[in-house]
Chains A and B, each alone.
Chain A
Amino acid sequence: GENVEQHPSTLSVQEGDSAVIKCTYSDSASNYFPWYKQELGKRPQLIIDIRSNVGEKKDQRIAVTLNKTAKHFSLHITETQPEDSAVYFCAASGNTDKLIFGTGTRLQVFP
C-alpha cells in the first residue's frame, strides 16, 4: 500500500524567511497530493493541493511542487508570519480516494 514520508518533523524559522517541507510517496498510481494545516487544538484544514498532471501550483505565499519521477512533493511558504506556526501534513491518494498522511511537520515562526 501507499506510504508517505515527511521531513523535517520540526522546523523553526525567523519571520520573513521561507520554509520548505518535503514528502515522498511510494505508490506511483497516486495522483492527488493535498497539504493540511492544523493549528493547536483545531481540526486539519486544506491549504493547497496538486494533482499529478501539474508540476507546480501557487496560492499567494504558499506553493507546492510535484516531481512524479522522483515521487516527491514539497510545500513552500515564503515571507513566513507568526500565524503560519502550526503542524503541516502532506498526504497522497490514488484511485481508491483514500488519503495516506505523512507524520506531520511542526513549524514555528519566531518574530
Chain B
Amino acid sequence: IAGITQAPTSQILAAGRRMTLRCTQDMRHNAMYWYRQDLGLGLRLIHYSNTAGTTGKGEVPDGYSVSRANTDDFPLTLASAVPSQTSVYFCASRQRSTGEQFFGPGTRLTVL
C-alpha cells in the first residue's frame, strides 16, 4: 500500500441496508477524517479521529458511525442507508509536521 486507499470504489445500495466504507493508510498518521462531497457544497466533515482509540463528530455526523481500532484503519459505517447519503466519500489523513491532509481516491455511493 502506498499512501491512503479506500474500498469500494463505488457502490449502489438499497435504502435501509448497512454499509461500511473502508479506509487504510500506511503513513502512520495519527489523525484521520471522513468527508462527503456533494455538488455545490464542497467537502463536509462527517467524523474524525485524532489518534487510535478516539473519535469525534464533524459537521454532518448523523446517520454515520466510525471506529479507530488501530492507526492504519478508519472505517465509516452507514447503519441504515437513506437516499440523502448518496455522495462521494473521501477519507483523509493528516501529516502532523506540516498539517497537510492527504486524501484517498474516494468512494462513490448511490443509495436507491
Residues of A at the B interface (CB closer than 8 Å) are 1, 6, 9, 32, 34, 42-46, 49, 89, 93, 97-104
Report the stretch among B13-21, B69-77, B97-105 that lies at the interface.
B97-105
**What 15 new A-B contacts, CB under 8 Å, besides A97-B31, A98-B45, A100-B59?**
A44-B90, A45-B103, A46-B100, A46-B101, A97-B50, A97-B94, A97-B99, A98-B33, A99-B101, A100-B45, A101-B42, A101-B43, A103-B40, A103-B42, A104-B40
Q: 1/0 per position for B57-70, CB-CB distance to A under 8 A?
A: 01100000000000
Instruction: Tell me the interface secondary structure of chain B in the complex.
Output: strand
29 contacts between A and B (CB under 8 A): A1-B59, A6-B42, A34-B99, A42-B105, A43-B90, A43-B103, A43-B104, A44-B43, A44-B90, A45-B103, A46-B100, A46-B101, A49-B99, A49-B100, A89-B42, A89-B43, A93-B99, A97-B31, A97-B94, A97-B99, A98-B33, A99-B45, A99-B101, A100-B59, A101-B35, A101-B42, A101-B44, A103-B40, A104-B40
- B100's nearest neighbour on chain A, judged by CB, is A46
How big is the B interface, by class? 20 to 34
- Residues of B with C-beta under 8 A to A99: 33, 45, 101
